[in-house]
């Protein structure tokens, strides 16, 4: 290292810790809730950083604080797990703060030891000291600090206790000479393996001493067949693999030897420095006696899931209504205050509608994340996974995939964001890619319109159920089957990986901090607005342009002539009525002339075998903004105005009377079912694509999702309509 420059750079402090150790609480306590969030390049993991104003407590007034993803170990097999080791061994922060749960030191010290092995200055924050004391755990902090070569500071992050002492310890550690890494004793053969790899690590990564040693043990534990690690020097990989193979040939268990040596060091340390009272039946056990009880557990589970569902499905409705009214009001204001023309249309139907399309998701995302953060921080989310994992396992999913899938019944956008609670990158991707097949609430208006059009009769199945209800139920069942099947197939194809497992800590129940809940929720909402929102806004404007341009002068002139005629002949209500009809007719003909209209006609040969015609095609294109827009787009195409909803009798009548070019009826029970099946399976939602881009960190996954869902929808709908037609079902 070169001599310190006159103006010292801002010290960087990295925060590492086990999940559930209170890392986020500590981060917020140190730096406030104003974290800057972004993604680590190319992975689905979020990077949180903030400026920690350490102030008068230190000569370093400001520190760059980085919150690393929660982990139990620095070893890695995927790029996501690799973030932690790269953040320490490649970024080399000034100090590492390791947050440990003081009530489970026997396990959590493992991470602290690994961090110290890197040779970086380390401060250990022993969190939840209040709980530890209450359960009779006595900890000799000095002994632990001495053995690890780190300052140990007892804290209670939730109450801000020990934060000043932690700040002092960090500040001191920045300037102090770093202690050497603890000496871990290995057997001779393992020691030889470590030496050999260490040498190559030192050469290829330009490191020395403890860092080289840490890279060596990291490589021996991490590198292996099927790993997806990045930027591991070829020579390092080669020597690690060579040593692993050799150990195997000699019948030595290298993984075990490396891990067991660490635990031997720690067990020796904790046997003298941590005294644990034999735990009585804890509060957590008493709660779990009910919450994971074979019978009561399901009742509790069902209740909690009901609340999740209702939150998304109905409790967020008033707020959504308010936003829609607000946007409508703003659109009215702009329409009234500006002169007619393309610029006004752009502002009203493009920009304002786009902003509306974005913020309309905020109530659902906000409420869902308040709820999920509460469940996660309280410890119950892990129990949700515990209770339902058996079911999820059957389709190759993780127990934690349940809440996102359930949320998918309301809306895929918050549901995709909810996959964040799934720790494994691949499990998370599979869930994210499959859940848009769940029948969301935006599909309901399409089902209602179609069943109201083609199954309006009073006929009942078995005398009880109306045909419409049975069809609706079938669509929901189809969506669940399709989601689970897609997950199972994706697991074996695009997101192939090691056999999915569940290795899940069940943390003690704890009362969540309101500050953390609000902080997490706001972070999610902001991430959505900034990253996904801009994409949704841009796509709304593109879609608006497709549906509006080019305009036909001929159509405009013809309708203007009709208007003049009407004004001359009629007055009062009769005139208004006539003018509305003319407006609607003009809108319909202009839409037919627009790029979307032409596109609809261009794809007609492709969608005809599905039972659709070009008007449906235009509706499908319009529905890309949001599926329910299918209904209003059809309203425009059929010339009855843009305010038609799924209950509109005139739209239903128009649809019932509509004919194809060959004169046959457009909407038959069969083509209706085909259309609904298409809407169950097709990825008709740009907001979902935008949020998958945001959450997966690349365009690769939303594109894959769009392609597989579209192909699936096309093939299945084709099968339904063609087989149905051949058998003569519901064609009349």
Interface with another protein (CB under 8 A), residue from 61, 208, 501, 650: 501
- Does 131 contact another protein by CB under 8 A? no
Q: Name the DSSP letter for residue 729.
A: -
Q: Which of 134, 322, 391, 530 binds another protein (CB under 8 A)?
A: 391
| Angle, CA of 410, 415 and 417, to the nearest 5° | 150
User: How far apart (Å, rounded) are the C-alpha atoms in residues 182 and 403?
Assistant: 43
* HSE, side-chain direction, 13 A CA sphere, residue 285: 4
Q: How many residues does the chain have?
A: 732
Between 387 and 418, whose beta carbon lies closer to another protein?
387
Q: Tell me the two tokens of residue 111.
A: 């991470």
Nearest to 420 by CA among 312, 313, 521: 521
Question: C-beta of 193: minimal distance to another protein in Å?
Answer: 16
Exactly one of 161, 165, 172, 263 binds another protein (CB under 8 A); that residue is 263
**Closest CB to another protein among residues 136, 457:** 136
- Kindly state the smallest distance separating residue 155's Cβ from another protein, in Å: 19
- Residues 167-206 as x/- pattern, contact with another protein by CB under 8 A: ----------------------------------------
**104 contacts another protein (rule: CB under 8 A):** yes
Contact range with another protein by CB under 8 A, out of 50-58, 386-394, 531-539, 689-697: 386-394
> Which among 165, 92, 89, 65 has a CA at the least distance from the CA of 125?
165
CB nearer to another protein: give 9 or 251: 251
Nearer to another protein, 350 or 508 (CB): 508
Can you tell me which of 504, 538, 556, 575 binds another protein, judged by CB under 8 A? Answer: 504
DSSP string, 378-420: HTHHHHHHHHHHHHHHTTT--GGGHHHHHHTTT-HHHHHHHGG
Residue selected from 143, 189, 192, 260 as contacting another protein according to rule CB under 8 A: 260
Q: Based on the shown chain and the rule CB under 8 A, indicate whether residue 83 belongs to the binding site for another protein.
A: no
Q: Say whether 493 sits in a helix, a strand or coil.
A: coil
The answer to the question of residue 389 lying near another protein (CB under 8 A) is: yes
Token pair 């499990």 is found at 427
Beta carbons within 10 angstroms of residue 403's beta carbon: 28
Spatial distance between the Cα atoms of 178 and 96, rounded to a whole number of angstroms: 12
| Residue 402: CB minimum distance to another protein, A | 12
Count of positions on this chain that bind another protein (CB under 8 A): 51
* Residues in 236-255 that interact with another protein by CB under 8 A: 255
221 is an interface residue for another protein by CB under 8 A: yes
Q: Select 258 or 537, whichever has its Cβ closest to another protein.
A: 258
Structure tokens at 601: 């006609």
Q: Is 73 in the site for another protein (CB under 8 A)?
A: yes
Q: 52 forms bridges with which residues in the sheet? A: 63
Does residue 347 bind another protein (CB under 8 A)?
Answer: no
Question: Mask 461-500, x = binds another protein (CB under 8 A)?
Answer: -------------------------------------xx-
Residue 154 touches another protein, criterion: CB under 8 A: no
Compose the 292-311 pattern: x for residues touching another protein by CB under 8 A, - for all others. xxxx-xx-------------
Nearer to another protein, 1 or 503 (CB): 503
Contact window for another protein (CB under 8 A) among 68-76, 309-317, 335-343, 713-721: 68-76
Name, in order, each residue with C-beta under 8 angstroms of 610's C-beta and a sequence gap of 6 or more.
674, 678, 714, 717, 718, 721
Tell me the C-alpha distance between 108 and 115, whole Å.
12
Residue of the chain from 106, 331, 378, 698 that contacts another protein (CB under 8 A): 106
Phi first, then psi: give them for residue 99, nearest 5 degrees.
-95, 125
DSSP 49: E
Spatial CA neighbour of 224 closest among 208, 207, 243, 205? 243
Cβ contact 506:323 at 8 Å: no
Residues 95/11, Cβ–Cβ less than 8 Å: yes
> By the criterion CB under 8 A, which residues form the site for another protein?
72-73, 75, 77, 103-107, 110, 221, 224, 226, 255-256, 259-260, 263, 276, 278-281, 284, 288, 292-295, 297-298, 382, 385-391, 393, 399, 498-499, 501-508
């Amino acid at each position: 290292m070169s001599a310190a420059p006159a103006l010292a750079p801002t010290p960087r402090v990295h925060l590492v810790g086990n999940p559930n150790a209170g890392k986020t609480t500590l981060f917020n306590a140190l730096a406030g809730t104003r974290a800057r969030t972004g993604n680590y390049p190319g992975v689905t993991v979020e990077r949180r950083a903030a400026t920690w104003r350490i102030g008068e407590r230190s000569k370093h007034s400001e520190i760059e604080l980085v919150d690393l993803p929660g982990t139990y170990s620095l070893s890695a097999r995927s790029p996501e797990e690799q973030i932690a080791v790269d953040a320490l061994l490649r970024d080399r922060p000034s100090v590492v703060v390791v947050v440990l749960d003081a009530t489970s030191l026997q396990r959590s010290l493992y991470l602290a030891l690994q961090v110290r092995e890197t040779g970086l200055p380390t401060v250990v924050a022993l969190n939840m000291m209040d709980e530890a004391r209450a359960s009779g755990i006595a900890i000799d902090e000095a002994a632990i600090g001495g053995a690890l070569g780190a300052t140990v500071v007892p804290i209670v992050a939730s109450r801000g206790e020990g934060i000043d002492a932690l700040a002092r310890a960090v500040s001191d550690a920045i300037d102090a000479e770093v202690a050497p890494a603890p000496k871990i004793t290995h057997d001779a053969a393992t020691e030889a393996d470590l030496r050999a790899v260490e040498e190559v690590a030192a050469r290829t990564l330009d490191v020395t001493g403890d860092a080289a040693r840490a890279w060596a043990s990291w490589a021996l534990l991490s590198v292996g067949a099927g790993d997806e690690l990045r930027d591991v020097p070829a020579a390092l990989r080669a020597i690690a693999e060579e040593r692993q193979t050799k150990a195997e040939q000699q019948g030595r268990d290298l993984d075990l030897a490396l891990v067991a040596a660490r635990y031997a060091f720690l067990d020796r340390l904790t046997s003298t420095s941590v005294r644990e009272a034999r735990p009585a039946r804890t509060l957590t056990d008493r709660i779990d006696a009910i919450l994971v009880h074979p019978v009561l557990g399901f009742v509790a589970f069902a209740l909690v899931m009901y609340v999740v569902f209702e939150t998304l499905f109905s409790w967020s409705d008033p707020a959504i209504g308010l936003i829609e009214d607000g946007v409508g009001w703003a659109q009215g204001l702009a329409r009234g205050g500006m002169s007619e023309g393309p610029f006004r249309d752009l502002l009203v139907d493009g920009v304002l509608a786009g902003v509306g399309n974005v913020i309309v998701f905020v109530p659902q995302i906000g409420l869902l994340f308040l709820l999920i953060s509460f469940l996660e921080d309280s410890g119950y989310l892990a129990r949700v996974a515990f209770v339902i994992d058996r079911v999820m396992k059957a389709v190759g999913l993780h127990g934690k995939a349940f809440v996102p899938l359930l949320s998918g019944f309301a809306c895929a956008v918050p549901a995709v964001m909810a996959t964040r609670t799934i720790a494994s990158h691949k499990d998370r991707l599979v869930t994210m890619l499959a859940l848009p097949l769940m029948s969301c609430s935006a599909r309901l208006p399409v089902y209602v319109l179609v069943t109201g059009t083609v199954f309006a009769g009073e006929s009942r199945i078995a005398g009880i159920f109306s045909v419409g209800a049975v069809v609706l139920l079938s669509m929901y069942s189809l969506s669940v089957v399709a989601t689970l099947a897609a997950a199972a197939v994706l697991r074996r194809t695009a997101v192939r990986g090691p056999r999915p497992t569940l290795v899940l800590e069940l943390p003690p129940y704890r009362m969540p901090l309101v500050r953390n809940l609000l902080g997490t929720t706001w972070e999610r909402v902001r991430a959505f607005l900034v990253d996904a929102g801009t994409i949704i806004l841009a796509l709304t404007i593109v879609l608006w342009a497709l549906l509006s341009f080019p305009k036909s002068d001929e159509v405009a002139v013809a309708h203007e002539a009709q208007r003049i005629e009407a004004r001359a002949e009629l007055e009062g209500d009769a005139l208004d009525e006539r003018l509305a009809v003319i407006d609607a007719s003009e809108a319909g003909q202009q839409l037919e002339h627009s790029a979307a209209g032409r596109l609809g006609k261009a794809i007609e040969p492709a969608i005809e075998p599905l039972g659709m015609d070009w008007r449906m095609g235009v509706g499908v294109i319009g529905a890309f903004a949001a599926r329910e827009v299918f209904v209003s787009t059809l309203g425009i195409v059929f010339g009855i105005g843009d305010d038609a909803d799924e209950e509109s009798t005139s739209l239903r009548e128009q649809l019932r009377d509509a004919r194809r070019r060959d004169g046959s009826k457009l909407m038959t029970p069969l083509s209706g079912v085909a259309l609904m099946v298409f809407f169950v399976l097709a990825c008709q939602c740009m907001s979902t694509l935008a949020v998958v881009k945001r959450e997966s960190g690349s365009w690769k996954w939303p594109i894959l999702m769009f392609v597989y869902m579209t192909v699936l929808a096309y093939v299945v709908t084709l099968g339904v309509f063609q087989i149905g037609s051949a058998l003569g079902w519901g064609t009349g």
